[in-house]
A and B are shown apart, each in its own frame.
Chain A
Amino acid sequence: EAGVVQSPRYKIIEKKQPVAFWCNPISGHNTLYWYRQNLGQGPELLIRYENEEAVDDSQLPKDRFSAERLKGVDSTLKIQPAELGDSAVYLCASSLKREWFSYNEQFFGPGTRLTVL
């Protein structure tokens, strides 16, 4: 079974430039997460999708960040414009949620390491 796929693996941009990250979850997984992980820290949730619906985007900085999950499969996270403080690893994860109270384990992708100069 293929794991969560993310691209690109690395991205270096100058501040004020736009950037986009792509995620393909494990086949059949209905829940998709985007996290940001700063150096030496744990992942911080940015947004969670159940199918096409963003059910939790309370931690997403909406002035510059946007995300979409068309057709409930692949997802794209965008930053426009990027700032120096956005340098981090952006992780995508997916899981299969069967009932409203079931919190299944998340499977993580390798992440995209973003460097903003």
Chain B
Amino acid sequence: AQKVTQAQTEISVVEKEDVTLDCVYETRDTTYYLFWYKQPPSGELVFLIRRNSFDEQNEISGRYSWNFQKSTSSFNFTITASQVVDSAVYFCALMGFSGGYQKVTFGTGTKLQVIP
């Protein structure tokens, strides 16, 4: 069985503050992928990043950065200098192979509110 835990249900920050969204996962698979998606108020999930289990390099894309640590089974997401447009629900997801099936598990999401 695989599991994704996003312990932070809601976070509020003031614009220009940095914020980190936590994601902890559980899996027995040796090959798996981790994803982050953004779901703005409009409702459509938007892909942000994919990481495979063999690539622990951290990644930075503009104001976004991701920290993948297999030792702690975490894949955290940091937004630097947050903006009002970052307000959304963010989902961490895990895709692995289990019993011949590709298993997809999403976390329960973290609602980020950026206050102007």
Contacts and interface: CB of A to CB of B under 8 A. Distances in A.
A108 to B, nearest CB: 4
List the 3 shortest-distance A-B pairs measured between CB atoms, nearest first.
A42-B106, A108-B45, A103-B33
Contact of A56 (B32, B46, B101): B101
Contacts of B32: 103
Interface of B: 4, 31-33, 35, 37, 42-47, 50, 52, 91, 93, 95, 97, 101-104, 106-109
A33 B102 CA distance: 11
- The dominant DSSP class at the A interface is loop
Query: Looking at chain B's contact residues, is the secondary structure mostly helix, strand, loop, or mixed?
Result: strand
A60 to B, nearest CB: 13
A91 to B, nearest CB: 7
Given A48-B102, A56-B101, A103-B95, A43 B45 contact: yes
Interface in A26-51: 33, 40-45, 48
A93 B95 CA distance: 14
Contacts of B44: 108-111
A91 B35 CA distance: 17
A47 B32 CA distance: 19
A65 interface: no
A84 interface: no
Interface of A: 33, 40-45, 48, 55-56, 58, 89, 91, 93, 101, 103-111
B102 A40 contact: no
B102 A105 contact: no
Contacts of B97: 101
Contact of A55 (B31, B102, B108): B102
29 contacts: A33-B104, A40-B108, A41-B109, A42-B4, A42-B106, A42-B107, A42-B108, A42-B109, A43-B45, A43-B106, A48-B102, A48-B104, A55-B101, A56-B103, A91-B45, A101-B97, A103-B32, A103-B33, A103-B52, A103-B102, A104-B50, A105-B35, A106-B45, A106-B47, A107-B47, A108-B46, A109-B44, A110-B44, A111-B44
